[in-house]
DNA sequence: CCAAAAGTAAACCATTTGGTCAAAACATTT
DNA sequence: AAATGTTTTGACCAAATGGTTTACTTTTGG
């Protein structure tokens, strides 16, 4: 303990990683403490030694997950570049973010759906109303005839849908298209390359 | 019991409705048998009287949910109308289908994510590879220059994303856009009207 | 080198939760 | 109206699961 910044012990990290993995796949209730322990290759008591309770462990995972994907939306939409470049960068960067954490969106949405109030304030602090400048930018561009005339909220949701849904809907997409193995990864790779053009084209006048 | 077709008793129906509601919101593990019973205003033992186990009850809910939204995708995409009209109808009709069962997509995707193999055969039977004709149609249209040159799989996923994601992402959308109360319903209503044009426009050359 | 602190393991505990059972209430048939 | 079958209830049970405690080991610091 000679460091000034308390860095989590190695087992503590292993636990957290395992917890993240299991919670992401199974959700709060679906996850078993024993399964997390097994996954981390440590004794179950250690979970409680480092993180008092399942609830506490879950909350850390939940919060970190939110932090990993929610502020990014706002950040990317508030970059100081042209509207077109901003949207292009958003699509690419956000796909990359989700690609690095492909289970997070479904995880968050499921938990949020079960209990919309848990962490509502926390989430609101990250994203609430912080897209207004972007919406205004779209509004302005529409007025100037550079962008299709459509409520900017709908355009924003279009962008989010096209970017995020493939990860959430992965199992269904795989079934419908008969993908297996690396097929889906290729599909995402292909998508990352062509989606920016598609989005820009779809909203340009 | 004088009917030829065994029709479920009233309590049996109440149970199923309640189970559907609770399973849809909480998932298999998140749902409590007691909660379902409370929700149906009946004694907990009745759940087991009519449906042996939680597992059995869940499976009925799961299967019915899949039946309600998966075959519809294939059906709408295989209608005998022009490509444009087919897509327009798909968007509108599928939004209406989901609107009538807004919790189903997230429910299915969450369960599918936990255990992709459960009912895999069942689901594959409903949708597996049955979109090939539609993909071929897109391919043909692209060759003739009527449709933008893009892998048809991507176009299909675009359509699905734009149609389904808003329901899955509802809580986040509400937070980001500051919606409350009926705001979201209006948003969906607006979307149902403008999405067909947007989709057609986005893939037309 | 030793004592105190931190980490680990195993056994154990308490509660939750899905599930059973027998008896009571209700309906149906003869 | 007795008998038979069906539905409902309440008490009860066993397994699963989150959590605790205790004892042992390892590490750390003086």
- pLDDT (tens digit, 9 = 90+) per residue, A143-181? 999 999 999 999 999 999 999 999 999 999 999 999 999
Taking the CA of residue B11 and the C1' sugar atom of nucleotide C19, their distance in angstroms comes to: 19
As a whole number of angstroms, the distance between CA A122 and CA B133 comes to 46
| 8 Å CB contact of B124 and A28 | no
Taking the CA of residue A32 and the C1' sugar atom of nucleotide D17, their distance in angstroms comes to: 8
Q: What is the reported pLDDT for A128? A: 86
The one-character DSSP state at A199 is H
Q: What is the reported pLDDT for A90? A: 98
Q: Which residues pair with B147 in a beta bridge?
A: B204
pLDDT band at A9 (very low <50, low <70, confident <90, very high): confident
SS (H, E, C) A117-171: CCCHHHHHHHHCCCCHHHHHHHHHHHHCCCECCCCHHHHHHHHHHHHHHHHHCHH
Q: Please say whether the beta carbons of A186 and B141 come within 8 A.
A: no
Least Cα separation, residue B124 to chain A (angstroms) = 6
Window 41-80 of A: residues touching B by CB (8 A cutoff) are 70, 73
| 8 Å CB contact of A176 and B30 | no
| Chain B residue whose CA is closest to A70 | B172
The one-character DSSP state at A181 is T
Q: What is the reported pLDDT for A5? A: 47
The one-character DSSP state at A82 is -
Radius of gyration of chain A from Cα atoms? 20
Those residues whose C-beta lies under 8 Å from the C-beta of residue B142, and which sit 6 or more positions away, are B148, B149, B150, B152
Q: Is B124 on the interface with A (CB under 8 A)?
A: yes
Cβ contacts of A109 on chain B, cutoff 8 Å: 106, 168-169, 171-172
Give mean pLDDT, residues A82-96. Answer: 98
C-alpha separations of A160 from A38, A74, A94, A195 in Å: 36, 12, 9, 12
Taking the CA of residue A180 and the C1' sugar atom of nucleotide C16, their distance in angstroms comes to: 40
Q: What is the pLDDT along chain B (205 residues), one digit of tens a residue?
A: 334 445 678 999 999 999 999 999 999 999 999 999 999 999 999 999 999 999 999 999 999 999 999 999 999 999 999 999 999 999 999 999 999 999 999 999 999 999 999 999 999 999 988 999 999 999 999 999 999 999 999 999 999 999 999 999 999 999 999 999 999 999 999 999 999 999 999 999 8
| 8 Å CB contact of B128 and A176 | yes
Q: Please say whether the beta carbons of A135 and A74 come within 8 A.
A: no
Cα dihedral A115, B93, B120, A20 in deg (nearest 10): -30
- Element spanning A198, H or E: helix A183-203
Window 176-205 of A: residues touching B by CB (8 A cutoff) are 176-178, 187, 190-191, 194-195, 198, 201-202
Q: List the one residue out of A82, A84, A87, A26 whose CA is nearest residue A54.
A: A26
C-alpha separations of B155 from A29, A91, B148 in Å: 36, 16, 9
| 8 Å CB contact of B171 and A110 | no
């Amino acid at each position: 303990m000679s460091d000034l910044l308390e860095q989590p012990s190695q087992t503590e990290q292993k636990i957290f990683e395992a917890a993240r993995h299991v919670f992401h796949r199974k959700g709060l209730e679906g996850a078993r403490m024993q399964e997390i322990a097994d996954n981390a290759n440590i004794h179950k008591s250690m979970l409680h030694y480092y993180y008092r309770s399942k609830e506490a462990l879950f909350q850390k995972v939940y919060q970190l997950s939110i932090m990993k994907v929610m502020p990014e939306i706002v950040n990317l939409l508030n970059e100081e570049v042209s509207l077109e470049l901003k949207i292009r960068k958003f699509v690419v960067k956000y796909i990359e973010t989700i690609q690095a954490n492909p289970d997070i969106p479904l995880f968050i949405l499921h938990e949020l759906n079960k209990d919309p109030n848990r962490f509502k304030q926390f989430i609101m602090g990250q994203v609430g109303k912080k897209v207004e400048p972007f919406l205004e930018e779209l509004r302005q561009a529409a007025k100037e005839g550079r962008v299709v005339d459509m409520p900017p909220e709908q355009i924003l949701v279009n962008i989010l849908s096209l970017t995020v849904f493939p990860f959430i809907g992965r199992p269904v997409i795989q079934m419908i298209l008969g993908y297996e193995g690396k097929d889906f990864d290729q599909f995402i790779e292909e998508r990352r390359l062509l989606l920016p053009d598609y989005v820009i084209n779809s909203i340009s006048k």
